[in-house]
Structure 1
Amino acid sequence: MTHVCAMRRAFIAATLFASAAMMAAQPPQGQGRRPQIPDTGGRSATYDPLKTFAPYAMPQPVTSYRGADGAPTPTYWQNSADYEMHATIDPGTKTLSNIETITYTNNSPVALNSLWLQVEQNTYRADARSRAFSGGSRQRPENINTDGTVFESMELLSTVKSAKPVKAEYVISDTRARIDLPTPLPHGSSIKILIKYHYTVPGIWGGRTSVDDVKDGPIYDIAQWYPRMAVYDDIHGWDTQPFLGNEFYTEFGNYDFYVTVPSNYLVAGTGYLVNGTEVLTKTQQDRLKQAATSDKTVFIRTQDEVHDPASRPKKDGTLTWHYHMDHTRDAVFSASPSFIWDAAKINLPSGKTSLAESFYPAEAAGDDGWGRCTEYLKDAVEHFSQDWYVYPYPAGINVAGFSSGMEYPGLVFDGIRSKGKGLFVVTAHEIGHTWFPMVVQSNERRDAWMDEGFNTFIDIYESDQFNHGVWGPKRDGEYAPGGGYPADEIAKVNADPEAPPILMRSDAIREKYRHPVTYFKSAEGLYLLREEILGHEVFDRAFRKYINDWAFKHPTPSDFFREMESEAGEDLSYFWRGWYENNWTMDMAAKDLKYNDPSDPSKGAHVIIEQNGQLVLPAWVQVKYDDGTDLKIKLPAETWMQKATYTMPLPTTKKIAEVMIDPEHRIPDGNRANNTAKP
């Protein structure tokens, strides 16, 4: 041991001697080399590089199902749930009745001794947890006086032929129901659940589901309308968080649903209409076929025809509408006698097509209102498909009703009074949710930022693209369409001591911070990654791979972080920690701008850049010259890996007017008063 220590001391001494000799051998300043400008710093009172650049532990570890590269492995699994539903709306009592059959398949490696259902209509009960949780901030208590879901019967059916139904033993817990199985459901097996129930459709509330009247009759927006399977996954087992206001986490499956309504109603449903020959007139069938090949909007039912009995194939009684969609996480519909209906073709990559459709009452008609909604839908879906991932559904539908601003697979609800720029923005945003979370389905109840923020991010570029950017985002202090958010506003969020970090359970984020953090800071994070950290080519390749790898699956924050790092080839630990795990602030300062030779500007200059905040990002530094020209130099994040102060050489030969950090306000610097230095 003594010999080893002596050798180590000798090695260190020799190394120090060699380093000193090398330094002594350097030529003096002015003799064949640029003047040496020493770096100062290490940590400071407000910045510690060892904290920002410490190794980062992802929220979830790598497993045999989720790889180190962020992609699902060949052993990744998830369960599935198929639904067949036969629903009826009674306008006299505003009651929805349904007979529902769920076919649930256990693909997990373990046997399940119980099943969990989401029963979200129970959020409208007087004793719901959501009442106490929200205090009315996102709910309207006067409109939620219902008894929730009233179960009439629930049976378990084996998938084995001739097996007899067994009465299900279940327990209701707020917006969940646990079914105790008589025997465990093994890996690879399926079971059917037959449920008969009814509930009163609530009034207007929070954009989720509603019924109210316009001049030509009621509009029913029906969502969260059927008991559905909770997710059993490899992260939490049964993920049974109650419905408190944040949205959904469900299994994928195939849907067939039948809706019986009065014959004068139109029904807009998720997926494609199977029995159009039964519920549409011959004229409407022909117009729908025309719309499927038309880039211009085609009316299926005009405003004048709303009052014309001939616009329905049957004058009295009821009609049953049948919709179907495969590989989806949900199904919803709207029903009303008041609907105007128009549609146009959506052009998708590789020659594929879909159909953009809008349903709206007379109050919303006109080119300044919903008369252009199909145009907005078509444009958004086409651009999102070209940029990120091809739209997977047979139709994209927007409905004007009383559940404004709510998204579901292939169908969204927006406001009757929306028009112009506002209607474009909300249409693009809600249909943009197709990509996040309808296809890439993160857990919204835990990580709403992966749904709202990611969607808000892609909205920014759609606003740029639509009609040559006529409603494109401005980033000079104005809130941008689609939820784009100026960097200076995000700096205020970061500086707010009460603001939660992005990696906070969704329901724990107060309403005051829901949009600033969950939507806008999350979107700005992707914007910074694309525009400032990685660049378009690198970011787009990585982000598209993430979308493709996790399409119709359940990614976690760690999967996203790992995939972006692995595919982009960058260690982004400093960014994940500063932007997502913490609300760190950023403050870069410029000072002591001097020429290397005070009497000769042609010999260059230097400026001291200080890092006074714990958040680190790449930043542009602009050198403005007296003659009106300028030079821009980008400082990488690694500038601050070992120090808080950097003496930055400026390769200039002209007189300098000033040096400014981030002149275009591209990053959220919280103190711009110190961003400029003059000679």
Structure 2
Amino acid sequence: MKKISFLFLAIGFGFLSMPSAHAQLDNNQSDFDEFMDRSGNRYRSSSGKPGPDYFQNEADYNIKVNLDPETHTVSGQLTMTYTNNSPENLEYIWMYLEQNRFTENSRGTLTTPVEGNRYNGDPLNGVKITNLQAKVKRSTSSKHLITDTRMQVFFNKPLKAKGGTAEVSMNFEFEVPVNGMDRMGRLSTENGEIYAMAQWFPQVAVFDDIEGWNVEPYLGAGEFYYDYGDFDIEITVPHNYVVVGSGELQNPKDVMSSILYDRYKKALESQETVTLISSEEIGESKMFANQSGTQTWNYEIENSRDFAFAASKAFIWDGAQFNLPSGKTGLAHSVYPIESDGQDAWSRSTEYSKASIEYYSEKWYEYPYPSAVNVAADIGGMEYPGLNFCSWKSKGSSLWGVTDHEFGHNWFPMIVGSNERRYAWMDEGFNTFINYYSTKAFNDGEYPTRLNQPRSLTGWFLGDNREGIDTYPDMANLRNLGMIAYYKPALGLVMLREYILGEERFDYAFRSYIEAWAFKHPQPIDFFNHMENAAGENLSWFFKAWFYGTGNIDLAIDSLTEEDGAYFLTVSNKGEIPMPMHMQITFEDGSTEMKSLPVEIWQRRDTWTHKFETEKPIKSIELDPTKILMDVNFSNDKWPLDIYKD
């Protein structure tokens, strides 16, 4: 095993380690055993980067879709150009039909508890597919097989490896559910229906070097995993509907009146929120290019893994310019019904959106899309590239929190394209982590963040029903999902940044990971290997224990004795997860210094004694004075023990 090199701060002490008289004879080497695969291969290197033969297929979509509010139906024509960059010829492809989740006998419906949960869906008829054609060179096939939320599309001739292209086209139609599993659906408001359209069109699954075809069915908690490509989407709606979508509006003059277009241009250049459609102008024909009938909104987005949109005649619409480190700008905008209006509510949505996009772009990686839109809907919070759905009832800190969280998802998993259906923690947890810092930064901490008080979560960590972070989301107890997908992985990254590695080493490694895997598909092992290599630290002991187990941290200061002018400090690891010991020493004269003991002390035994010398008498010692560690027992973190009675 590699020797673990750990940051050691002597801070002015003459330091000597010696074994405790009560030390255990056996060791804890099993806690430090290598569990990661660092061998690497041609596809994924041992340094945690894409290898020289890494491949990724591409899917480009051209879709013309019509939304009929009278029948609540969507009907569309889809043409997908699929490029096979893999080293393998493909006789077929797999596509997802997510709308088939909304049927009486879908796997998702049949695995939903009788009492229901967040992922309830209206039982409808699913999606109807007609006129399917799969073309490879001069051959055309219509053969396809639908199984629940997946469709296998066969080719007459194999799609060649390393650059072969196929064109798959079809018509599709479905009824929009009211309750779409808290991810899409429709909301009735005073001024009309709001349609939140997500996971709405047939979309190809990912073929990769790890699983081959990734074809987990759409059940509920598992979200989505798609390849990247370009989208050209035309959406036809009644003439007085506003349509917002992923990417950039291509034909504003075709759908906006001169009044609305002038405001739209102003918003593109304004640092303050500009009203495009006010509460008094909702649904008025004078705001649109056509005074009757329908009109078509055309959106495009490049190098994206999905496309979502919203449509309604009930929208208030406002926007402002966001600014990126490169000098590029874009449009942050919001749409919401009159019920959500107000300075304590959605009137600040664009302000929040702009702040979020700008912060993450400066801190981690520049936002790649030309717009960012926040949509008020009957959805607690759901993200798609460049577009959020957030609850129309959210206000104040709740609205900031959900807006910032959903926009943060543009980094995880929209830019760094992890598999949400399998590894929820790689998007939810990483995102919750970056949300912690953006919330602290917004208006100098206007709103609180729960991660500021990690020990308020101790109860869950001590519960008998807790599960590991690595539990698949569709298998997890929904009562645990918030912890294992969001909070525990986020707390782990905070500890890694602020306690184990330090901010400079962590930030370099984390930014490097984002850059290496931007618009690609990392696996958990790629993240672990990349962080180890870029930070220069063997972290197997941490990743194994925190991400693949249910053990806890419980470090203790047992005693401090003085003998012949020297101090003997005895510490112990009473939990299942080893950690370095960062302690603050307070002297009788009131001065303080920090002392750090490396994680390697726990390789040998659970108790360790250190001898050190100082000319100043010691008054007290406290482990982790800033309370970064998720230590489940803080009663043993100080010496003397009765200091808690002060």
* Distance change (3 Å), C-alpha of 1:278 and 1:37: closer
Query: Is 1:217 matched with 2:192?
Result: yes
Q: Tell me if the contact between 1:256 and 1:323 (Cα under 8 Å) persists in the aligned partners.
A: yes
- Residue 610 of structure 1, aligned match among 563, 569, 572: 572
Query: In the alignment, does 2:86 pair up with 1:108?
Result: yes
- Between the two proteins, what is the percent identity of the paired residues? 38
1:466 matched residue in structure 2: 442
Q: Does 1:561 align with 2:528?
A: yes
SS of 1:507 mapped into structure 2? coil
Does 2:595 correspond to 1:633?
Answer: yes
Show the counterpart of 2:497. 530
Residue-by-residue CA offset, 1:445-479 (whole Å, 9 max, x unaligned): 11110000001000001011111122243xxxxxx
- Following the alignment from structure 1 to structure 2, what is the Cα–Cα distance between the partners of residues 344 and 125? 40
Q: Is this contact kept in 1: 2:283–2:315, CA < 8 A? A: no
Q: Deviations over 1:270-300 (max 9, x none)?
A: 1101111110111211211111111111111
Q: What residue in structure 2 maps to residue 15 of structure 1?
A: none
Partner of 2:52: 74
**Alignment root-mean-square deviation, CA:** 2.0
- The answer on whether the counterparts of 1:41 and 1:644 sit within 8 Å (CA) in structure 2 is no
Structure 2 CA distance for partners of 1:183 and 1:35, relative to 1, 3 Å: closer
CA spacing shift, 1:176–1:387, aligned 2, 3 Å: same
Distance 1:114 1:494 in 2: 46
SS in 2 for 1:554: coil
Counterpart-to-counterpart distance in 1, 2:526 and 2:348? 39
Equivalent of residue 427 in structure 2, options 444, 451, 470: 451
Partners of 2:15 and 2:442 lie apart in 1 by 51
Which of 148, 156, 163 is residue 182 of structure 1 equivalent to?
156
* Number of the residue aligned with 1:259: 235
- Residue 658 of structure 1: aligned partner: 620
Amino acid at match of 2:637: N
Q: Is the Cα–Cα contact under 8 Å of residues 141 and 156 in structure 2 kept in the other structure? A: no
Q: CA deviation at 1:153?
A: 2.4
Cα deviations by residue, 1:184-206 (Å, 9 ceiling, x for unpaired): 11112111111111101001233
Letter in 1 for 2:82: Y
Where do 1:315-394 residues align within 5 Å?
A: 315-394=291-370
SS at match of 1:134: coil
Which gives a bigger RCO, structure 1 or 2 (Cα 8 Å, sep 6+)?
2
Question: Structure 2: which 5+ residue stretches go unaligned?
Answer: 1-13, 642-646
Match for residue 124 of structure 1? 102
Deviates more, 1:484-493 or 1:122-131: 484-493
The 5 Å alignment of 1:477-488 reads: 480=450, 484=451, 486-488=453-455
Structure 1 position 48, deviation (Å): 5.1
* Inter-partner Cα distance in structure 2 for 1:138 and 1:317: 40
What is the CA deviation profile of residues 627-662 of structure 1, one whole-angstrom value per residue up to 9, with x for unaligned ones? Answer: 444332122212222222111335433343332322
Question: Which amino acid in structure 1 is aligned with residue 142 of structure 2?
Answer: A
Q: Is the counterpart of residue 518 in structure 1 residue 485 in structure 2?
A: yes
Cα 1:659/1:146, change in 2 over 3 Å: same
CA distance in 1, matches of 2:460, 2:323: 40
Paired position in structure 2 for 1:138: 117
Offset, 1:92:
1.1
In 2: Cα distance, 1:212 partner to 1:386 partner: 35
Question: Which deviates further from its counterpart, 392-401 or 49-58?
Answer: 49-58
Distance 1:181 1:43, change over 3 A: farther
For 1:27, the equivalent position in structure 2 comes to none
Change (3 A) 1:41 1:432: farther
- Match of residue 24 from structure 1: none
Distance in 1 separating the partners of 2:525 and 2:234: 39
Label 1:436 to 1:332 Cα distance change in 2 as closer, same or farther (>3 A). Answer: same
Aligned residue number for residue 22 of structure 1 = none
Q: Distance in 2 between matches of 1:504 and 1:307?
A: 46
Residues 341 and 357 of structure 1 are in contact (CA less than 8 Å); yes or no, is this contact kept in structure 2?
Answer: yes
Provide the C-alpha distance between the structure 1 equivalents of 2:116 and 2:290, rounded to a whole number of angstroms: 44
Q: SS of the residue aligned with 2:344?
A: coil
**Pair 1:396 & 2:372 matched:** yes
Deviation for aligned residue 1:55: 2.1
Could you tell me which runs of 5 or more consecutive residues in structure 1 were left unpaired when the two chains were aligned: 1-32, 474-479, 598-602
> TM-score, length-normalised on structure 1?
0.89
User: What amino acid does structure 1 have at the position aligned with 2:427?
Assistant: D
Q: Partner of 1:600 in structure 2?
A: none
Change (3 A) 1:459 1:35: closer
Please name the residue that 1:30 is paired with. none
Correspondence 1:509 to 2:509: no
Maintained 8 Å contact 1:490/1:516 = no
Q: Report the alpha carbon displacement of residue 41 of structure 1 after superposing the two structures with TM.
A: 5.7
Q: Could you tell me how far apart the structure 2 residues matched to 1:35 and 1:83 are?
A: 65
Q: What are the within-5 Å matches in structure 2 for residues 253-292 of structure 1?
A: 253-292=229-268
Q: SS at 1:210's partner residue?
A: strand
Please give the alpha-carbon distance, in whole angstroms, between the structure 2 residues aligned to 1:447 and 1:35.
44
For 1:664 and 1:304, how far apart are their aligned partners in 2? 51
Compared CA separation, residues 425 and 35, structure 1 to 2 (3 A): closer
Answer yes or no: is 1:644 the counterpart of 2:606.
Answer: yes
Q: In structure 2, what is the equivalent of residue 300 of structure 1?
A: 276
Q: CA deviation at 1:124?
A: 0.7
- C-alpha distance in 2 between matches for 1:674 and 1:541: 34
**Does the CA-based 8 Å contact 2:47-2:529 persist in structure 1?**
yes
Q: Is the 8 A contact 2:119 2:182 kept in 1?
A: no
Report whether the alignment pairs 1:99 with 2:77.
Answer: yes
Change (3 A) 1:604 1:354: farther
Q: Aligned-pair distance for 1:269?
A: 0.8
Distance 1:451 1:572 in 2: 21
SS, match of residue 241 in structure 1: coil
What residue identity is the alignment partner of 1:248?
F
Q: Is the 8 A contact 1:491 1:586 kept in 2?
A: no
Measure, in 2, the Cα distance between the counterparts of 1:71 and 1:532.
Answer: 25
1:495/1:584 contact within 8 Å kept: no
TM-score (norm 2): 0.93
> 2:546 & 2:415 partners in 1: Cα distance?
25
**Aligned partners of 1:590 and 1:351: how far apart in 2?**
52
What is the alpha-carbon distance in structure 1 between the residues aligned to residue 15 and residue 24 of structure 2? 27
Q: CA deviation at 1:491?
A: 4.5
Q: Relative to 1, partners in 2 of residues 1:658 and 1:69: Cα closer, same or farther, differing over 3 Å?
A: same
Q: What are the superposed Cα offsets for residues 105-157 of structure 1, whole Å, 9 maximum, x if unpaired?
A: 1110010111100111011101011123231643565x512111111221123
1:676 counterpart = 2:643: no
**2:8 alignment partner in structure 1:** none
The structure-2 alpha-carbon separation of the partners of 1:36 and 1:112, relative to structure 1 and needing over 3 Å to count, comes to closer
Is the partner of 1:443 in helix, strand or coil?
A: coil
Are residues 486 and 412 of structure 1, via their aligned partners in 2, closer, same or farther at CA, if it must alter by over 3 Å? same
Question: How many residues get paired?
Answer: 625
2:583 to 621, 632, 650: 621
Paired AA for residue 28 in structure 2: P
Question: Are the aligned partners of 1:149 and 1:197 in contact in 2 as well (CA < 8 Å)?
Answer: yes
**Structure-2 change in CA distance of 1:140 and 1:206 (3 Å):** closer
Picking from 168, 177, 182, the partner of 1:193 is 168
Tell me the distance in 2 between the aligned counterparts of 1:371 and 1:522: 33
Contact 1:118 1:230 in 2 (8 A): yes
> Using the alignment, how far apart are the partners of 1:539 and 1:509 within structure 2?
30
> What is the alpha-carbon distance in structure 2 between the residues aligned to residue 662 and residue 615 of structure 1?
15
- Contact kept? 1:619, 1:667, Cα under 8 Å: no
Q: What is the match of residue 20 of structure 2?
A: 39
8 Å CA contact 1:124–1:147 kept in 2: the answer is yes
SS state at 2:373 partner: strand
